[in-house]
């Protein structure tokens, strides 16, 4: 078994950092778009505009699925150090 990946991860810890920041920024972007959709849906549903409510729901659901999918790529947590018990 090759130790290339683990050695590379140890040599370049910033890579994990970049992936983490990228995922968080993507999630913030997706959530912002969803807030915009929700605002539009509320505003238009008040005016009996069912089409907008349905379209924004579709969009919001798709964005939620994308954000769940993004969570798969979160870097693994640091292995917990075994602490001496007090």
Partner 1 sequence: MAEKDKDPTWKSDFPIDQEEATHVSRREFAKFLGLFSGALALGNGAIVLKSLAFPDKELEGEHFICEENEVPVGGMKQFEIHGTKDIPYILIHLEEGEWRAFEQKCTHLACAVRYRHDLGQIECPCHQGFFDPRTGVVIQGPPPRPLPQLEVAVKEGKVYVKSMSKDKPYNV
Angle between helices 13-45 and 4-11 in degrees, nearest 10: 80
- Give the residues lining the site for partner 1 (CB under 8 A): 20, 23-24, 27-28, 30-31, 34-35, 37-38, 41-43, 45-48, 50, 53-54, 56-57, 60-61, 63-64, 67-68, 70-71, 74-75, 77, 85-86
Q: Could you tell me the smallest distance in angstroms from the CB atom of residue 81 to partner 1?
A: 11
Q: Could you tell me the smallest distance in angstroms from the CB atom of residue 12 to partner 1?
A: 18
Query: CA nearest 58: which of 37, 28, 36?
Result: 37
Q: Could you tell me the smallest distance in angstroms from the CB atom of residue 31 to partner 1?
A: 5
Residues 44-60 as b/e (b if ≥16 CB within 10 A, e otherwise) read beeeeeeebbeebeebb
């Amino acid at each position: 078994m090759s130790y290339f990946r683990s050695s590379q991860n140890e040599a370049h810890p910033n890579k994990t950092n970049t992936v983490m920041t990228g995922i968080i920024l993507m999630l913030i972007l997706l959530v912002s778009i969803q807030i915009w959709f929700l605002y539009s849906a509320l505003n238009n549903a008040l005016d009996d505009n069912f089409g907008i409510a349905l379209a924004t729901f579709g969009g919001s659901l798709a964005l939620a699925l994308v954000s769940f999918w993004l969570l798969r790529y979160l870097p693994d947590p640091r292995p917990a150090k075994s602490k001496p018990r007090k």
